[in-house]
Amino acid sequence: MSENPDSPAAPTAGNPVTPGSQASFGTYRRQPVSFVRRGTRLQGRRQAAWDQHADAFVVDVPRHVADTSVHPDYVFDAAAEFGREAPLVVEIGSGLGEAVVAAAEANPERDFLAVEVYRPGLANTLLRIAQRGLTNVRVAQANAPEVLGSMLPAGSVAELWVFFPDPWHKAKHHKRRMVKDSFAELAARALAPGGLWRLATDWSSYAQQMRDVVAASPDFRNAHDGERSGPASPLTAAWASGVDCEATGESDEVGGWAPRFEGRVLTSFENKALTAGRVIFDLTAERI
């Protein structure tokens, strides 16, 4: 998510994350990074949460070449981790854990894996898990493409969530965006047939890119193809508002936008976006 966990200056336990030292695409250094260097140290309640709850809820991911890399031989065993067979929901870029923890509490019959590279965000997630006494959430400090490309068994995921990834709004940085054709291939690998890939962003240009990626993929179909076009389209509303873009047309006649996902709670980040007058875009792609 676009949420940035704050970064206090106290020492942290364990291996620090050094996100600037490798690509967000793990060992695939040829790919441009999709995150920037941020602080990773913990203090106070976050450090205490990590010390008390990491053993129970943080997946012990074997590393390869960097602190958030995933060893290519490692495969996540959800049944062993959760002690049961249940549909698995994976959130990429879980931020402070607001969405995934609320969903886990509301859906005890499902298991949830929160994937995030920044330890402060994961520590916040541990706090929320412990406060609610949940047992159906695990967190993984790992690069998303490696998680989808090798760590998760093929076809093992019921739903994949990517909510408010970094928009990299400058045109020269669009190549750093996470959601692109190569990422769709990884998402397709991880999802079971009929599984859902849910996306959300508050940047109109990224929303269009996401829609185009889904449309171009032979592995997905837009679950709301043609819906919410014209005056009902959030893109038409964004063009009219001029909040984040110059209009490239008067009306979006393509559509394809999903209604707001009811399973996504209103996070602090999304609330700030709405308060600023930004338009929220939702997409739902079904694995063919």
DSSP string, 164-178: S-----SGGGGGG-S
CATH code of the domain covering residue 247: 3.40.50.150
Split into its structural domains, the chain has a count of 1
**Encoded amino acid at 127, one letter:** L
Give a yes or no: residue 7 inside a domain. Answer: no
Catalytic residue among 6, 67, 77, 166: 166
166 is catalytic: yes
Report whether 55 contacts 44 (CB < 8 A): no
pLDDT of 21 reads 28
- Specify the pTM: 0.87
- Sheet strands side by side (includes 281-287): 137-141, 111-116, 88-92, 157-163, 191-201, 281-287, 220-222
Asked whether residue 56 carries a pLDDT value surpassing 60, the answer given is yes
**For the segment 189-219, what is each residue's pLDDT rounded down to a tens digit?**
999 999 999 999 999 999 999 999 999 999 9
Model confidence at 124, in pLDDT bands (50, 70, 90)? Answer: very high
Alpha-carbon distance values, 111 to 28, 43, 279 (Å):
29, 29, 30
Asked if residue 40 is part of any domain, the answer here is yes
* Within-domain flag for 269: yes
1: in domain: no
Look at residue 112 and give its three-state secondary structure.
Answer: strand
- pLDDT, position 23: 32
* Residue 6 is assigned to a structural domain of this protein: no
Decide: 175 and 212 in contact? Cβ < 8 Å. Answer: no
Residue 36 falls inside a structural domain? yes
159 forms beta bridges with 89, 196
Range of the domain at 66: 19-287
Q: Is residue 141 part of a domain?
A: yes
Cα–Cα distances (Å) from 165 to 29, 30, 212, 247, in that order, read 20, 21, 16, 23
Residue 254 domain-assigned (yes or no): yes
Q: What is the mean pLDDT of residues 215-236?
A: 98
